[in-house]
Each structure stands twice: as structure tokens, then as C-alpha cells.
Amino acid sequence: MTGDATRAVHGPAPREVRQPPLVPPVYRSATFVFDSAQQTADVFAGREEGWSYSRTDNPTAQAFADAVALLEDPTEVAVGQPFASGMAAICSTLLALCDAGSHVVAPREVYGGTWSLLTRQLARFGVETTFVDGTDVDAVRAALRPETAVLWGEVLANPTMSVADLPGLAQVARDAGIPFAVDATFASPVVCRPLEHGVDLVLHSATKYLGGHSDVTGGVVVGAAALVDRVRTVRIDTGGALAPDEAALLSRGLTTLPLRMVRQCATANTVAAALAAHPRVVRVDHPSLPSHRDHALAQRLFAPGLYGAVVTVTPSGGRAAGMALVDGLQLVKRATSLGGVVSKAVHVATTTHLSMDDESLAAAGIDPGAVRVSIGLEDPEDLVEDLTRALDGL
């Protein structure tokens, strides 16, 4: 190497690192170098394992998905695939499972982005969706058609925190011979491991609890290799790859997931109980409360004492009171998303459920005054104080 440009581009030979690093390096490379044309051909043809191009597979991104798979399935049978966002994971999954003319059954309370994907995008390609009460197993069964290609579910629904009867719904899917895919974002594998209840594919917006710090967007799908591989193919074809730097942040977040989740859920239980006792509150949605419709089901499906860390509180006074409650908060941030270490609150009807009028909200069991609070890692008494002060001020 004699020219400056060549030396600048190629640099010196990399130093050898004999010991394994404690933390895996970030493979911030779009492409990988082969020893020979033959090896290149073998890796491209799948005859030899290897890394070729980071939209296809990247070691740092894959390490994150592998780590999630291990949490979802400690028996190490399930495999994971990483995605650029939760929606990329959901989109790739639905595209993998549906053809033109397919039918999907999904819960009425399904996450807004999934609803939009199904009704605004996939509908244009001839995929029709029936939305039903996802907690009513009989209604779900009745909605199936011969062309139903996938049963969609959510472990915990937003913002009512209703719990899906995973074993019951899995049986419905099994009887119909179709896959049961579940968005487990609100639960995380610390609260619930859906694969153990008969679910075929588990999906997460890793942006939430898995990452845990509100500083990265990502998604993941976990399940049996044959199904997950079909989803991977769509990810490759649609470009939904998770970037290596984002993956490294997600992997770091994942190391503290169990600690964070246990603490956030315990705080949520405390906050839910305190809010339920406040005179201005007409309703609190959190499955830790015996008054929650799905309390018993949650006890059956979830890790002991954990019910998720989102608490939805409805003050008396409707829409205006909900907005005033959010405005009265000093510690809890007015911000969307959930799962991070900082607590956040949104007025449901004017944010996450903006597209629904009061009538549709009522049909979905959501009060126009509902405020969704994502409980973070602050001291529980500080959160109770902040929310109580805001309620007192209404």
C-alpha cells in the first residue's frame, strides 16, 4: 500500500483480540468480507453459514433477537428475528402469513398501528380483517372463516389492560389449523411467556420494555424456526432490518429487563391501588385490582404478583377532566410510548385513540376521560404523590 488514499481506506491490519470481550462488539458494518469467491457463493446459496449483508442478517441484531428468544423460551427451541421497529415486526409477520384473499381475526382493542396496517394497507391487497372482542373466545371462534389465515392477539390490551385468554384462543387457532400470533409488548417475557400457553409467534415493540430507556426503536418476533424463517424472508424483502447500534442498545437494555420489570410492575400495583381509592377517580384499569375483569385470568397466566406496568386512570368529568389530569402532572412526563424508566402519561382519547369518537370509545370500553400512565422506575410514593396532587387539583 503506497498511496495515501489506499492506506486511508484500508488502514493497518486489525489487531488480534484473543480474549472474548465481556460485551459483544457492535458489528457496525453493512457488508462482510469473504475468503474466496467459492465461500461467497456458498454463503449466498446457504450451503455455508456466514454473514453477507446487514439487511439480510447482522450479528449484533441477531444477538439481540437470540437473547429475547432465550427469555421467551428458556428451553432454547424457539428462535428470534430482529426488526427495525415493532411495526416492522408486525408487518412482516402479517405479510408472511397472509395472501391476497386471506382473512384475519384481530381484537377490537388492537394497537392503533396494527389496526391501521390491517385496514389501510393490507386491505388494499385483498386481506380482510374482522375485529372482535378478543377476550371472548367464543366470539373469536365464530369470526373464523375458511380463508382465515391468522388469529391475532395481544397479551395485554391498550389502554384497558384486558388480558387475552391465551390457552383458550390457542385452542381455537389449533382447531382451525392456523397460526396464533400475539403482540406481547405490554407484558414482556418477565410477566408472561405466551409460547408456554400455545401461542405460535410472539411479537414485541422492543422500543418499550425490552429496550427500556426510550432511546431506541426496535422489534422482535419469536417462535418455531419454520414460521420465523418465513417472517425473516419478508423482513429481508421489505427492508425492516434492525440497525446494529440500535441492537446493541436493545441488548444492553435487555440485561436489566427482569429487574426493571419486577420493580415497575410492583410500583404499578401500588399506584393502581392508591388511585382506586381517590374520590375523583371513577375507574382504574390494572389487572392487579380484584375489581379488574381479568384479575383471575392474569393470576393464572402471569408471573406471581406481576400484572404489567401500565395503569389507566379515569377521573370523573370526562374528556376535559382527563386532559386536566395530564396537565396537572409535574413528575410524570406528558409523553406517548411506554416501558421506559421515566413515567409517562397520555390522555387516551386525544392521542393513542384519536381516530375514535366517543361512541367507538364506549364500544371499546374506553372512557373519554381515561389517562394512560406508563409506570417507570421512580420511587412509588413520588408517583402516587404526583398523580394524587393532579387529581386533587381537578
Looking at 108, 141, 193, 208, which residue is catalytic?
208
Q: Please confirm, yes or no, whether 27 is among the known catalytic residues.
A: no
Looking at 42, 53, 55, 263, which residue is catalytic?
55
**Minimum CB distance to ligand PLP, residue 57 (Å):** 20
Cα-flanking dihedrals φ and ψ of residue 167, to 5°? -65, -40
Give the span between the Cα atoms of 387 and 329, in whole angstroms: 6
**Minimum CB distance to ligand PLP, residue 195 (Å):** 18
* CA distances, 166 to each of 44, 69, 173, 296, 335 (Å): 39, 19, 10, 13, 30
- The nearer residue to ligand PLP, 69 or 87, going by C-beta atoms, is 87
Give the span between the Cα atoms of 2 and 14, in whole angstroms: 18
Q: Among candidates 53, 11, 51, which has minimal Cα distance to 31? A: 53
* Beta carbons within 8 Å of 148's beta carbon, 6+ residues apart: 102, 103, 104, 105, 176, 178
**Minimum CB distance to ligand PLP, residue 87 (Å):** 4
How far, rounded to the nearest angstrom, does the alpha carbon of residue 381 sit from its chain's CA centroid? 28
**Minimum CB distance to ligand PLP, residue 341 (Å):** 17
Looking at 183, 200, 285, 386, which residue is catalytic?
183
* Beta carbons within 8 Å of 203's beta carbon, 6+ residues apart: 86, 89, 90, 93, 181, 182, 183, 184, 185, 219, 220, 221, 222
- The nearer residue to ligand PLP, 66 or 183, going by C-beta atoms, is 183
- The nearer residue to ligand PLP, 113 or 318, going by C-beta atoms, is 113
Interface positions with ligand PLP (CB under 6 A): 85-87, 111, 113, 158, 183, 185-186, 205, 207, 217, 219, 337
Collapse the DSSP code of 122 into the 3-class scheme (helix H, G, I; strand E, B; otherwise coil) and give the result: helix
**Minimum CB distance to ligand PLP, residue 242 (Å):** 11
Answer whether the bond into residue 290 is a cis peptide, omega within 30°: no
Q: Tally Cβ neighbours within 10 Å of residue 180.
A: 26
Q: Please confirm, yes or no, whether 55 is among the known catalytic residues.
A: yes
- The nearer residue to ligand PLP, 257 or 276, going by C-beta atoms, is 257
Q: Please confirm, yes or no, whether 333 is among the known catalytic residues.
A: no
Residue nearest to ligand PLP (CB): 86
- The nearer residue to ligand PLP, 144 or 200, going by C-beta atoms, is 200
**Minimum CB distance to ligand PLP, residue 107 (Å):** 11
- The nearer residue to ligand PLP, 29 or 351, going by C-beta atoms, is 351
Instruction: Please answer whether residues 225 and 233 qualify as being in contact, where contact means their C-beta atoms are separated by less than 8 angstroms.
Output: no
Tally helices (H) and strands (E) across the chain.
15, 12
**Minimum CB distance to ligand PLP, residue 308 (Å):** 11
Give the span between the Cα atoms of 336 and 351, in whole angstroms: 8
Q: Please confirm, yes or no, whether 108 is among the known catalytic residues.
A: no
Task: Sort strands 201-205 and 180-183 into parallel, antiparallel or unpaired.
Answer: parallel
Give the span between the Cα atoms of 116 and 384, in whole angstroms: 35
- The nearer residue to ligand PLP, 144 or 220, going by C-beta atoms, is 220
Reported as half-sphere exposure (CB side, CA atoms, 13 A), residue 326 has a value of: 25
Active site residues: 55, 111, 183, 208
